[in-house]
Amino acid sequence: MVDYPFKARIDDRAVTIRDAAHFVEDYDKVFTSKVRKAVSSQTYPNLFANWQGVMIGDGEIWFGGICSDETCKQQTVRITAVND
């Protein structure tokens, strides 16, 4: 459930995760304990949403609907950014 490419912060620098292989390789650097804690403690009433998508925590994860066809009648929810 990831939209490639997506941006992540690894060691305080912006990194573009290009594909699934890159994601698997850097998984532990992307989903740090801080990011995992933000996800596990998030509650529905405290989600923040704007034109960029929906934010978990203080911006640790952003996700949103991604068009699956040309008319955008079919959408899937995908992670679009992960920030430690």
* Amino acid (one-letter) located at 47: L
Q: How far apart are CA 77 and CA 33, in angstroms?
A: 23
The model's pLDDT over 4-45, given as tens digits with 9 standing for 90+, comes to 898 888 888 899 999 999 999 999 999 999 999 999 999 999
Per-residue pLDDT at 80: 86
The model's pLDDT over 47-79, given as tens digits with 9 standing for 90+, comes to 999 998 999 999 999 998 877 778 887 778 888
Per-residue pLDDT at 70: 80
Per-residue pLDDT at 46: 93
